[in-house]
Amino acid sequence: MAHPNRLKNAHILVFGGTSGIGFAVASLALSNNARVTISGSTQEKVDSKVALLRSIYPSLPAERVTGYALNLADTQNLEENLKEFFEKVTNGGQNKVNHVAFTAGDALRIASIPEITFDQIYPAFHVRFAAPVIIAKLLSTGKYMPQSPDSSLTLTAGVNVQKPRPGWAVVAASGAAIEGLARGLAVDLAPIRVNTVSPGAIDTELLRGATGNLGEDVKNDLWKRLTLTGRIGRPEDAAEAYAWFMRDGFATGTRAETNGGRLLKD
């Protein structure tokens, strides 16, 4: 029996699919003949990335990839906005999503513990933690995702949970909360599977913004010192971890690490 392509014709929704790891997940899904919907902060950016994905896979019908803007930072209207978003994505529940990959996240500028203020703590949890909770609530209704072990929700944490760098205590706590949330949701949403990907340093727009003041030689030396692979990770590397969780119908409540051996370095 030939090994099945488990992503073929699956409907895959990628939050944060306009850049970095999310864009790579969307591209990987299309390469497996999936149907893809991406979200981003502005419709202009979403439309641009949808057009780019269509140009990368010109043999696929244009309707294979669509996208909608969504402001996940609007916590006051988060549930209402997400419900309206899922209604559009699934055409009122008629075209359910089979897999959700949550890679969205805003740039975090959190001070070290001696300088941190109360108002700097909660932004670390707004998009990365609160939004997945409401997404899970909507998926639990059965309207937007089949209640099956062939369905999955994959969240994103980070290597700082296991090995925090100085000054990143709050970010590490946010990632740990996401991992705990995923395990709890794996129980609450069963048989839908819920897992977490924990990336290390990946060459994304977000990381480039955080290290923009460093020269290329300095950054290359940093990645050599922090990884066993001697280089920074690529978005398409990390995308494979999300694909594993979509494909493996027996994986739930667990974590995939893609960090170049960061945890084994001094």
Q: Which residue has the higher pLDDT, 80 or 165?
A: 80
CATH of 11-258, one of 3.40.390.30, 3.30.300.30, 3.40.50.720, 3.20.20.10: 3.40.50.720
Beta pairing, strands 35-40 & 152-156:
unpaired
Beta pairing, strands 99-102 & 11-15:
parallel
Residue 156 in tokens? 């994103």
Tens digits of residue pLDDT in 145-186: 999 999 999 999 999 899 888 888 888 999 999 999 999 999
The number of C-alpha atoms within 13 Å of 214 and in the hemisphere containing its C-beta is 13
Task: Say yes or no to pLDDT of 215 above 70.
Answer: no
Residue 260 in tokens? 């170049």
Nearest Cα residue to 83 out of 126, 128, 137:
137
Residue 54 pLDDT: 98
Q: Could you state, in order of their start, the residue ranges of all structural domains in the chain?
A: 11-258
